[in-house]
Amino acid sequence: MVRKPGTYERALALHVAARELASSGTAFSVPSEGPDALGELVHVQERIAHVLDQLGRWHQQLQAGRHHAEDKQSVEGVLEAAFELQTAARQAAELHQTLVRAHHATSQIRWSDSDSGTGRE
């Protein structure tokens, strides 16, 4: 039986893809691809905000003695993680909105993919 990838494996795959995109020397070699690439990043950021919100809510529902140890350190760790994840989710949602505005701005640009000045409009 083939095991479906879990949360960790999916997060790792996203990390690998982001690392490859960031290290690609040709990632932005075709100017007219900028809006499309940014549009995909807008969607990724929206999903990241959603996952962070889910993870924060999950931490809020954890029960001492059932999901983690009942000691003070564990309880405080869960509470702090839940708070910080909810903060991160809000910030990620704000970043998503900023990226939406940037994407809209790039869609207004008449791009040129060559030195001749002709390009995609």
**What's the pLDDT tens digit per position in 27-47?**
677 888 889 989 999 999 999
pLDDT tens per residue across span 97-112: 999 999 999 999 999 9
> pLDDT at position 7, please?
87
What is the rounded CA–CA span in Å between residue 53 and residue 80?
14
1 located within any domain: no
14 located within any domain: no
Buried b (16+ CB within 10 A) or exposed e, 41-56: bbebbbebbebbbebb
49 located within any domain: yes
The domain in which residue 40 lies consists of: 33-106
Rounded to an integer, the average pLDDT of 19-23 is 88
Cβ atoms < 10 Å from Cβ of 25: 6
- How many distinct structural domains can be found in the chain? 1
**Is the separation of the CB atoms in 30 and 120 below 8 Å?**
no
Rounded to an integer, the average pLDDT of 64-78 is 91
7 located within any domain: no
8 located within any domain: no
